[in-house]
Each structure stands twice: as C-alpha cells, then as structure tokens.
Amino acid sequence: MNAIIQGNRLVVQPQTDLIASHIEVLRETVLAEMKKYPGVTGIVIDAAGIEIVDSLGVNLIIGIYRQAAAESKTFEIINAGEKFVKVARFFRFYSLFSINGEAANV
C-alpha cells in the first residue's frame, strides 16, 4: 500500500483487494499514516487497485470514514471501478461520502 500527501489530503492507495486476509495490515497502515500526518484535512482512498471488497473490507472502509469524521476530516473514494461501485451502491456508501470514478457516473 502506498500513502502520499496531495495538497492537504492523505491519499491511500491499496494495491490489493479489500478482503479478510489483507484487512488487518491495511487498517494498521492507514491508521498509522493518519497519525503520522495529523494536519491533513482529508482522507482519500484511491480504489484503482481494488477489485473485490468483502464484508471485512466494507467494515474497513466504514471504520476509516468514521475515524476521519471523528477527526473532522473529509473522506472520499476516487478511481472506483465497476465492481467497487456495485458494492458502494449496495451498502449506500454514497449517503456517507463521495465516490468518484468512471464507473461511479453510470
């Protein structure tokens, strides 16, 4: 996973699916990055490398969103592919945060 600062936002780029076998490492890494850069005003998940999201992946996304909200930071997902968008629609992520990507506009 990569994490970079773009302007005043922390952009997290998982290079793997959000499935049970990867969740704990991803969670720890994202929270460590958020702690490392407390001055950022937004958290962005770049979903370009995500194809599959299982129930623990959904929990991870919601957990990061809640942590960002608790710290008064914005949260959004970018570069969402078709499969990711289907999961986002099913779980109504759109009611919580912004999701952008070519498939999100369909």
What average pLDDT score do residues 62-79 get? 96
User: Has residue 106 got a pLDDT over 60?
Assistant: no
User: Confidence class of residue 102 from pLDDT cuts 50, 70 and 90?
Assistant: low
Domains, in order of start, for the chain: 2-105 (3.30.750.24)
Amino acid letter for position 8: N
Structure tokens at 72: 């008064």
Residue 1 pLDDT:
86
Q: Decide which of 102 and 25 is more confident.
A: 25
Report pLDDT digits (tens) over 7-60.
999 999 999 999 999 999 999 999 999 999 999 999 999 999 898 999 999 999
